[in-house]
Copies of this chain bind each other. A is one copy, B any other.
């Protein structure tokens, strides 16, 4: 039985607590939250503390707080030489206070409070300073997920930047599509099956194989007609830059 303490009460902390609760091999013996009531629906009230001094002994402490609070929280922990990890994709291992043995437990997914997630399908990216700690982290990760990876800090940075492209920027393109529809009195609903299929295709095809459309075909007439149709300068600009980028990328293949 691995004894775990969760520090934090946000989306990641809550989803981890739920995922751990499903296994008999993991015991969330305590949780830290500034507002106790943020976690009372998931953890017995007497196991929640808002005082670092009350933290008890555990095999693993998981700091799941906002990026800019990680360093501060780790320095406030009133113990030494225990295994302390954070869950962020963009904060380095060095941010954690050296008085403890450090590591990373980064679930690469977008979490929302409402939707339940199937943790078995969420990639967990792990990094540790030493081999013994890594084994503990890996065993724990494999209990809740089928997709466990050893990822060093440089690789994690690449993943985090890539995630911005395939999640944040992709969603912004949904915003732009939505805006164009709204401005032209067309229900955005019509595009949803296409959005789904665009993501589905990538599960079996490489992005290069899946690329279609006027840019990669170099269909100058359609491109010109689209640019003519777009009145918003920002939409026009992004259309041109991405079209150019698709064409340059195609040439390199």
Contact = CB atoms under 8 A, between A and B. Distances in A.
Interface string A153-179: 011011111111111111111111110
A38 interface: no
Nearest to A91: B222
A165 B229 CA distance: 14
A85 B226 CA distance: 22
Contacts of A171: 198, 201-202, 207, 210-212
Contacts of A169: 173, 238-239, 242, 246
B234 A164 contact: no
Contacts of A176: 162, 165, 245
A24 interface: no
Interface stretch (A1-9, A28-36, A45-53, A121-129): A121-129
Nearest to A161: B226
A145 B146 CA distance: 37
The oligomer's copy count stands at: 2
A116 interface: no
A181 interface: yes
A237 interface: yes
Contact of A241 (B212, B226, B237): B237
Interface of A: 67-68, 90, 108-110, 112, 115, 121-123, 125, 147, 149, 151, 154-155, 157-178, 180-181, 183-208, 210-216, 219, 221-222, 225-226, 229-230, 234, 237-239, 241-242, 245-246, 248-249
